[in-house]
Amino acid sequence: MTLENKVALVTGGAGGIGLATVRAFLRQGAKVVVADVDEVRAKAAAEEVADEGTPGSVASVGVDVSVFEQVEAAVAAAVDRFGRLDVMFNNAGIAGGKPLLEHDPAVDYAPMIRVDQDGVYYGILAAGRQFRAQGGGGVIINTSSIYGEQAAELAFTYSAAKAAVISFTRSAAYELAHQGTRVVAITPGRVATPIINQFSPELRALFASELLRNTMTQPEEVADVVAFLASDASNVINGTVVSCDDGYSVFKQRFDLPTF
């Protein structure tokens, strides 16, 4: 598997799964643009990983994915810097939640929909148009979630947005197949990102117990899956959801078996 001569744009690339994927892409020989709403962090992340790829193989750009014009500009910046775009990883997202009946729609609904749902739509649209302009091809990978496939605690809006990402993925794969563009979604489970690492040890232990290995998934483990999906080795994976949840979705909880 290799990403040699591929150009990738990673949104939410300054931390968590995004930064781990930037590193994985660089190791596989890709040129990468780190895109993040925090332009200073994006630049710092690019400088941090600069020696992990070939010289001059990483750049950064600020982007608010909830604004289509900024997503278009980020794609244009990648093309200006490296000459083309081959991989779009729509990974930027925000989390949080509260009980539904305590929602303030302006706070608990609209912002998350704009980032987690609209941001992926904008990334698909901007990248798909760039791939068409290049003559076709390209891969779009979208970060959904285990919550996009089931109900969960305090996650009314987040689950809705992540479910939309799955629907976007299927529809975009169907619509863009004629130009040779693949579109895939991933559904991570409990990943040790800064968002989760801020919680108490007790809550993190509970999260780990929901996974088959009984340990939190590391961002690098998800990044390796994304790098595979971005490569030509996964050409037959298209329009589908790739679970990287360490079994979260296949069981509810462990318990001591009774004596029969």
Contact of 188 with 225, CB cutoff 8 Å: no
Whole-angstrom distance, CA of residue 82 vs CA of residue 8: 10
Q: How far is CA 72 from the centre of its chain?
A: 18
- The dihedral through the CA atoms of 90, 96, 100, 104 has a sign that is negative
Structure tokens that stand for 162 in this block: 């992540």
Helix (H) or strand (E) holding 66: none
Q: Show Cβ contacts of residue 230 under 8 Å, excluding neighbours closer than 6 positions.
A: 3, 6, 8, 25, 30, 87, 89, 139, 141
**Sequence-ordered alpha helix ranges (H) in the chain:** 16-27, 39-48, 68-82, 110-112, 119-133, 156-176, 194-197, 201-209, 219-230
Q: Give the residue among 38, 59, 62, 40 at the shortest CA–CA distance from 49.
A: 59
Pairing of strands 58-62, 87-90: unpaired
CA R_g for the chain:
18
Question: Which of 122, 158, 174, 248 is flagged as catalytic?
Answer: 158
Q: Show Cβ contacts of residue 39 under 8 Å, excluding neighbours closer than 6 positions.
A: 60, 61, 62
Please give the single-letter amino acid code of residue 87: V
Q: Is 121 a catalytic residue?
A: no
Catalytic positions are: 158
